[in-house]
Amino acid sequence: MRKTLSPGPITLFVVLIITIGQITTDIYLPSLPDMTLLFGSSGNIMQLSLTVYLATFGISQLFYGPLSDHFGRRTLLLVGMSIYIVATIFCAMAGDVVTLLLARAMQGVGIGCGAVVARAITRDMFTGVKLAKATAYISLAMALSPAIAPAIGGYMHVLFGWESNFILLLGYTSVLFLVFYIFLPETLLERNKKQHFIKQTLKDYKYILTYPLFISHGAGIMINFGSFMAYQTVAPFLLQNHLGLNPAQSGQMVLFVALGYAAGTFLSNRLVERIGINILMLLGLLLSLLSALIMFLIALSGHISVLTIVAPMAFFTMGSGLFNPGAMANMLTPFPRVAATASACMGAVIAVGAGILTFIVAMLPDDNQIPLSSLLLVVASINIIVLVTYILPNLRAPGNHPAA
């Protein structure tokens, strides 16, 4: 089956799989203020639609990992996409906030397979340089798709209404389902048929999730991603309700924030050999802390504008771009024997943690940027404290990277 498709189409399929979960995260967020009015709900409740998606998206990855080793990549992908398609239909037809929240949770359960299966397929099909290239394409898709999605979603809302975002997702995923059903081969040659594979997987999860450096680095990445998602949740209400932007303009603002992250990762790649991973991580967190402080001080002054909201967040995400690559490398290095399981754990921790942060920000007022900037300032400070007091001393300590 490995020879059914050449590396090019397989890589394309993997990238397309990744994009589904990423664009589902935030394509509809520019529509939230109008959806709040149409559903007769509050902004705080509507923002939970992102929280429940991230929570189920993250948790489900812990199950899809071992199940894909047992039943195969293709089968799990098609099952997960089927659940997602049904859930997206319910999202598009939702007439109240409860239905929307339940459907969003089901979307996360379904498409949680995407990230796990995509990474697994690349490991099945590629090694060495080809694996590195495929992974680079996955990283690019994960970075670009959630940045472009709100811009598309904003225009879709202006032209066709909020439902059009979910109809677009439905059409996109349905087409990909047919393509994968017809053309995607099973890439796993030897399935895990051991009777106790679940028991061993649970042991691996316990070991990884209690490993100190995994926890500390994962917390940093989770805070950075969660901060971006928290901003994504609140920004449409600030930009539209208080500054008069329409959904299309609000969606476009995300591109500037994403540009900051892209600049950070670019600088990380250029500087890592010159100044080292640890210094880059520290500089990244300091930049994020400074950006959050500037946003907070401006908020206290009572001044609110597009510039004072978007610019500090762009520099905050630039700091994330400097921190995340090194943190991910340090986070996964101790687990060569269970790299796939560690990767699933990382995805789960980041998504669930981000869901918690979006829940917190959803409970805060959204009539100015003080609550958002306060949250960013607190979590950025926590990141600095953890890095300086725990991560860096432990990285210097001998024997801190056992081969799991």
Regarding whether 124 and 229 lie in a shared domain, the answer is no
Mapping DSSP to helix (H, G, I), strand (E, B) and coil, where does residue 376 land?
Answer: helix
Count of CA atoms in the C-beta half-sphere (13 A) of 326: 29
The answer to whether residues 101 and 67 belong to one domain is yes
Which of 64, 133, 70 is CA-nearest to residue 351? 64
Percent of the chain with pLDDT over 90: 53
Residue 200 counted as domain residue: no
DSSP string, 81-138: HHHHHHHHHHHHH--SHHHHHHHHHHHHHHHHHHHHHHHHHHHHH--HHHHHHHHHHH
pLDDT at residue 3 in the model: 44
188 lies in some domain: no
The pLDDT, as a whole number, for residue 327 is 85
pLDDT band with cut points at 50, 70 and 90 for residue 187: confident
What would the pLDDT profile of 144-167 be if each residue is shown by its tens digit?
888 889 999 999 999 999 999 999
What does the chain come to in residues? 404
Count how many domains the chain has. Answer: 2
- Which CATH number do you get for residue 29? 1.20.1250.20
Question: Does residue 187 lie in a domain region?
Answer: no
- Looking at the structure, do residues 216 and 173 belong to the same domain, yes or no? no
pTM summary value? 0.87
Instruction: Output the pLDDT for position 403.
Output: 43
Q: Would 247 be classed as within a structural domain?
A: yes
Within a domain: residue 281?
A: yes
pLDDT over 60 (residue 402): no
d(CA 324, CA 331): 10
Residues 317, 170 share a domain: no
Indicate if 129 and 263 belong to the same structural domain. Answer: no
User: What was the pLDDT predicted at 2?
Assistant: 42
pLDDT at site 50:
95
Backbone angles phi, psi at 182, to 5 degrees: -85, -40
Considering the domain architecture, whether residues 379 and 230 belong to the same structural domain is answered as: yes
Q: Are residues 32 and 74 in the same domain?
A: yes
Domain that holds residue 128: 1-182
Q: 49 and 161: one domain?
A: yes
189 in any annotated domain:
no
Residue 194 in any domain: the answer is no
Question: Is the same domain home to 343 and 270?
Answer: yes
Q: Flag the least confident range among 227-236, 323-332, 345-354.
A: 323-332
158 and 9: one domain?
yes
Residue 106 lies in a domain: yes
Q: 356 and 226 in one domain? A: yes
d(CA 296, CA 349): 27
26 shares a domain with 160? yes
Whether residue 8 has pLDDT greater than 90 = no
